[in-house]
């Protein structure tokens, strides 16, 4: 798994396995050198250049009251440290708002809703408020939301990348916020191009476990219903599927891998896929694909799990309430949210500069239900 | 239905039925005299008292630069109009943030998620951002969220009341925000104690329709699974159930009305209720109660709909994906969200003072599925 991190991660450190009655997870601390340590304020600049705060403020406004030499020095320093004075927000900059902003791709998605519940619980315990904004899977909206919120009304971000951002591969808006000294914690859909604290599951291993389970139950012709490759979690889960087949000396057939672009309109594609392929098991990378596969199988006269075993990913409402109920990889959103909030609050409240970032890997587990033998 | 509005609504006006391909809804404009018309700013006070803005500002800070007479006049005026200068927020007060705050009771609830989608779509079309905060059904959190956001980072609120607030009957935090000139639109869980724009469904009539449908299908012993009375929508739906039985000369039996306090732990209560009562139909005021009733019936060896017809409320994911799929009253969250956003944006962008508030009633319809005969 660690191979998936890029080479800018220069050191891999301790693995801690805490004891917990309900959940087991690994804590892997990945030490990364941050690009920029601390939020720069008027006060910092004043101290660094040994001038008054008022001189810094006036220099940044290019006031003729201040000598040209000092003005240039202050402006150069501010530029170097990416300090952008915002007239209105200036007085707010150093104020702790005790508010955390969460940016998620969509809200009609049980997993993200549970993550928010987890964030809320830890935030409230620590006296923080939570504001939620949606990117609606759009790069532009993600940028607008971050700019709006970074302007002074929040202390830090917890976010999961939009499809648009992952497809574009442009993360400048996140880097800018971090450079300004505002901490960011990413969860689930992350990028290795940004150095910050992260909470993820090991998607590849979890997918491998799911496919191994189907093989263990005797299935031999196993298909995959997944997303397009630029969605990081879909890509990792696809890798896990391929790995499991190879380990078990099963042939990977391209035609058995269905990649779906438009999640909301997948019914026809999935029905055609099940009709046209001779499979006895299928791994779906989310629960919507899984329940749609079950409905399609029923329509085509196939019994689940007798003729087709179905295993999903993410243990949401659908998996529990559909008939048959769906065997699934449980990705605990509440735990992920709690860990993300803890990482962010620790960073906000820790006066010491922590030069290293943490990536926490939350372990998944299989929930066995009726859709597999 | 209009009887449910209190007598401070002194006039009921036009009913408009717009043509729409997909949805029909009534627009009933209920004219209400607002307590306070407009956001009071430093500028207003200055103009009204014929002094400079700086004089107003200094008077409010009780500066000795200003004569005692003027100071008293300004302070009295500010008090009268509920003007509370917030030093930091002062400069932000008149700035349009183009941001709408939405406060909802909980997020792991498909109905609220769809309302947010609807709000987002209209807000984005009009260049507004949306911030979502959760009250987690708590009065205190609702108050904290509103105070935090009203401090300058948003233009107006769209909200659905928490259970805590409805149970307490304390709406001062909402009145304060309105008095400061910030528009509020309420949806779904509203109160008649606050004058503002509202978007609701006619819960009583919708419930009546649902119970009439069961009676039409031949059921005679019809039960109700509902919430405790202080949840306004639960109360109205209970009223509708009672009304339908009476209209059809069926006896209303108290023991057939199950009122549930803790929605998340309703399984045992519902199972006992179905075991102990001789019913052939049941109306559940939300889809979680409906699916739980179906699971309980199956466990007790009763077939749905042969032995027990079940009808739910709110057309969410569960109703669609459960087996049998659930006949339900569809409460269109997207339309409700769109209407709420439109009402708020109209008020924000309309320079003319609109002295009257609108209550829009979005029509529901019945979605017939497999859980009824």
- Give the pTM: 0.73
Residues of A in contact with B321 (CB under 8 A): 291, 318, 321-322
Q: What is the DSSP letter of A363?
A: P
Q: What is the mean pLDDT of each run of 10 residues along chain A (373 residues)?
A: 33 36 42 47 78 77 81 81 53 66 88 93 94 93 88 88 93 89 94 95 95 96 93 91 96 96 88 96 94 93 96 88 90 95 93 78 93 95
Residues of A in contact with B124 (CB under 8 A): 136, 141
Q: Six-digit token pair at B345?
A: 């944006």
Helix %, strand %, coil % of chain A (to 5): 45, 20, 40
Average pLDDT over residues B103-127: 91
Q: Six-digit token pair at B260?
A: 């549930």
Q: Six-digit token pair at B180?
A: 């400061």
Please check whether residue B147 touches A, CB under 8 A. no
> Given an 8 Å threshold on Cβ–Cβ distance, is A145 in contact with B129?
yes
If you write DSSP's letter for every residue of B9-71 in order, what string do you get? --EEEEEE----SS---EEEEEE---S--S---HHHHHHHHTS-HHHHHHHHTT-TTS-HHHH
Residue B138's pLDDT is: 92
Average pLDDT over residues B341-361: 86
* Size (chain A), residues: 373
The torsion defined by the Cα of B114, B119, B125 and B130, in degrees rounded to 10, comes to -110
Residues of A in contact with B291 (CB under 8 A): 321
Tell me the torsion sign for CA atoms A295, A300, A303, A306.
negative
Q: Among B86, B95, B100, B107, pick the best mutation site for testing chain A contact (most A Cβ within 10 A).
A: B107
Please check whether residue B134 touches A, CB under 8 A. yes
Q: Six-digit token pair at B98?
A: 């183009």
The owner of tokens 């979890």 is A206
Q: Which residue of B has its CA nearest to A100?
A: B133
* Maximum Cα–Cα distance across chain B: 84
Residue A62's pLDDT is: 76
Residue B32's pLDDT is: 45
Of B108, B130, B148, the CB nearest to A117: B108
If you write DSSP's letter for every residue of A101-135 in order, what string do you get? EEEES-SS-HHHHHHHHHHHHHHHHTT-EEEEEE-
Nearest CA-CA distance, residue B70 and chain A, Å: 29
Please check whether residue A114 touches B, CB under 8 A. yes
Q: Which residues pair with A199 in a beta bridge?
A: A187, A360
Q: Which residue has the higher pLDDT, B2 or B319?
A: B319
* Predicted confidence (pLDDT) at residue B214 exceeds the cutoff of 90: yes
Contact assessment for residue A282 and residue A210, using Cβ atoms and an 8 Å cutoff? no
Of B92, B132, B136, the CB nearest to A132: B132
Q: What is the 3-state secondary structure (H, E, C) of chain A?
A: CHHHCCCCCCEEEEEECCCCCCCCCEEEEEECCCCCCCCCCHHHHHHHHCCCHHHHHHHHCCCCCCCHHHHHHHHHHHHHCCCCCCCCCHHHHCCCCCEEEEEECCCCCHHHHHHHHHHHHHHHHCCCEEEEEECCCCHHHHHHHHHHHHCCCCCEEEECCCHHHHHHCCCHHHHHHHHCCCCEEEECCCCCCCCCEEEEECHHHHHHHHHHHHHHCCCCCEEEEEECCCCHHHHHHHHHHHHHHHHCCCCCCHHHEEEECCHHHCHHHHHHHHHHCCCCEEEECCHHHHHHHHHHHHHCCCCCCCCCEEEEECCCHHHHHECCCCEEEECCHHHHHHHHHHHHHHHHHCCCCCCCCCEEEECCEEECCCCCC
Half-sphere exposure of A51 (CA within 13 A, CB side): 19
Rg (C-alpha) for chain B, rounded Å, is 24
Residues of A in contact with B122 (CB under 8 A): none
Of A113, A133, A318, the CB nearest to B107: A113
pLDDT digits (tens, 9 = 90+) for B193-213: 999 999 999 999 999 999 999
Please check whether residue A147 touches B, CB under 8 A. no
Residue A251 DSSP SS3 = coil
What does the angle CA B357 – CA B358 – CA B364 come to, to the nearest 5 degrees? Answer: 155
pLDDT digits (tens, 9 = 90+) for B44-103: 788 888 887 778 877 877 777 788 888 888 888 877 776 665 433 443 444 578 899 999
Q: What are the CA-CA distances from residue B263 to residues A115, A324, B225, B285, B288 (Å)?
A: 20, 24, 11, 11, 8
Contact assessment for residue B204 and residue B239, using Cβ atoms and an 8 Å cutoff? yes
* Confidence class for position B353, pLDDT limits 50, 70, 90: low
Residue A180 DSSP SS3 = coil
Residues of A in contact with B117 (CB under 8 A): 107-108
Q: Which residue of A has its CA nearest to B319?
A: A321
Please check whether residue A145 touches B, CB under 8 A. yes
> Given an 8 Å threshold on Cβ–Cβ distance, is A113 in contact with B114?
no
Q: Identify the burial level of A373 via C-beta atoms within 10 angstroms of its C-beta, where 0-12 means exposed, 13-18 middle and 19 or more buried.
A: middle
> Given an 8 Å threshold on Cβ–Cβ distance, is B131 in contact with A133?
yes
Preceding omega of A324 cis (within 30 degrees of 0): yes
Nearest CA-CA distance, residue A11 and chain B, Å: 38
Contact assessment for residue A139 and residue A207, using Cβ atoms and an 8 Å cutoff? no
Determine the Cα–Cα distance for residues B200 and B188; give it in Å rounded to an integer.
Answer: 5
Q: What are phi and psi of B186, to 5 degrees?
A: -105, 145
Residue A338: closest CA among A114, A133, A30, A149: A114
Determine the Cα–Cα distance for residues A88 and A151; give it in Å rounded to an integer.
Answer: 9
Contact assessment for residue B242 and residue B270, using Cβ atoms and an 8 Å cutoff? no
Contact assessment for residue B162 and residue B104, using Cβ atoms and an 8 Å cutoff? no
Residue A7's pLDDT is: 31
* Predicted confidence (pLDDT) at residue B15 exceeds the cutoff of 70: no
Please check whether residue B119 touches A, CB under 8 A. no
Contact assessment for residue A65 and residue A72, using Cβ atoms and an 8 Å cutoff? no
Contact assessment for residue A190 and residue A362, using Cβ atoms and an 8 Å cutoff? no
Contact assessment for residue B131 and residue B120, using Cβ atoms and an 8 Å cutoff? no
Of B91, B113, B120, the CB nearest to A113: B113
Contact assessment for residue B107 and residue A106, using Cβ atoms and an 8 Å cutoff? no
> Given an 8 Å threshold on Cβ–Cβ distance, is A99 in contact with B148?
yes
CB pairs under 8 A between A and B: 78
Q: What is the 3-state secondary structure (H, E, C) of B276-305?
A: HCCCCEEEECCHHHHHHHHHHHHHCCCCCC
Contact assessment for residue B129 and residue B99, using Cβ atoms and an 8 Å cutoff? yes
Determine the Cα–Cα distance for residues A115 and B32; give it in Å rounded to an integer.
Answer: 41
Please check whether residue A92 touches B, CB under 8 A. yes
Please check whether residue B107 touches A, CB under 8 A. yes
Please check whether residue A82 touches B, CB under 8 A. no
Q: What is the DSSP letter of A326?
A: -
The torsion defined by the Cα of A239, A240, A245 and A248, in degrees rounded to 10, comes to 130
Residue B85 DSSP SS3 = coil
Nearest CA-CA distance, residue B211 and chain A, Å: 24
Tell me the torsion sign for CA atoms A212, A217, A221, A223.
negative
pLDDT exceeding 90 applies to what percent of chain B?
Answer: 57
Please check whether residue B108 touches A, CB under 8 A. yes
> Given an 8 Å threshold on Cβ–Cβ distance, is A108 in contact with B99?
no
Residue B199: closest CA among B217, B187, B182: B187
Q: Among B92, B104, B106, B108, pick the best mutation site for testing chain A contact (most A Cβ within 10 A).
A: B108
Q: Which residue has the higher pLDDT, A121 or B351?
A: A121
The torsion defined by the Cα of B66, B71, B77 and B78, in degrees rounded to 10, comes to 80
Q: Which residue has the higher pLDDT, B150 or B241?
A: B241
Contact assessment for residue B60 and residue B78, using Cβ atoms and an 8 Å cutoff? yes
Please check whether residue B264 touches A, CB under 8 A. no
């Amino acid at each position: 798994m660690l191979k998936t991190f890029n080479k800018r991660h220069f050191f891999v450190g301790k693995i801690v396995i805490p004891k917990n009655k309900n959940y087991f997870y690994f804590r892997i601390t990945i030490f990364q050198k941050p690009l920029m340590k601390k939020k720069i304020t008027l006060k910092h600049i004043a101290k660094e250049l040994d001038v008054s705060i008022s001189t810094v403020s006036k220099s940044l406004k290019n006031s003729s009251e201040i000598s040209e030499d000092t003005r240039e020095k202050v402006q150069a320093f501010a530029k170097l440290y990416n300090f952008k004075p915002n007239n209105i927000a200036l007085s707010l900059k150093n104020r702790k708002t005790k508010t955390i902003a969460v940016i998620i791709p969509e809200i009609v998605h049980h997993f993200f809703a549970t993550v928010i519940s987890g964030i809320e619980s830890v935030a409230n315990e620590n006296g923080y408020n939570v504001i939620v904004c949606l990117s609606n899977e759009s790069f532009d909206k993600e940028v607008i939301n971050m700019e709006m919120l970074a302007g002074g009304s929040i202390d830090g971000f917890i976010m999961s990348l939009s499809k648009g951002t992952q497809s574009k591969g442009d993360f400048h808006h996140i880097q800018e916020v971090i450079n300004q000294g505002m901490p960011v914690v990413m969860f689930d859909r992350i990028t290795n191009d940004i150095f910050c604290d992260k909470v993820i599951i090991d998607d590849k291993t979890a997918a491998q476990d799911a496919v191994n389970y189907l093989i263990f139950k005797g299935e031999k012709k196993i298909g995959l219903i997944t997303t397009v490759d630029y969605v990081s979690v879909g890509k990792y889960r696809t890798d896990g599927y391929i790995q499991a087949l190879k380990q078990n000396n099963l042939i990977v057939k391209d035609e058995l891998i269905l990649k779906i672009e438009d999640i909301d309109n997948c019914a026809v594609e999935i029905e055609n896929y099940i009709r046209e392929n001779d499979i006895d098991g299928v791994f779906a990378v989310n629960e919507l694909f899984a329940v749609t596969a079950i409905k399609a199988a029923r329509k085509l006269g196939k019994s689940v799990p007798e003729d087709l075993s179905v295993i999903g990913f993410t243990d949401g409402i659908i998996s529990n309430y559909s008939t048959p109920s769906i065997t699934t990889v449980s990705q605990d959103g509440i735990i992920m949210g709690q860990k993300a909030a803890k990482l962010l609050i620790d960073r906000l409240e820790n006066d010491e500069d922590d030069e290293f970032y943490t990536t926490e890997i939350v372990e998944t587990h299989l929930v066995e239900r009726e859709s597999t033998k």
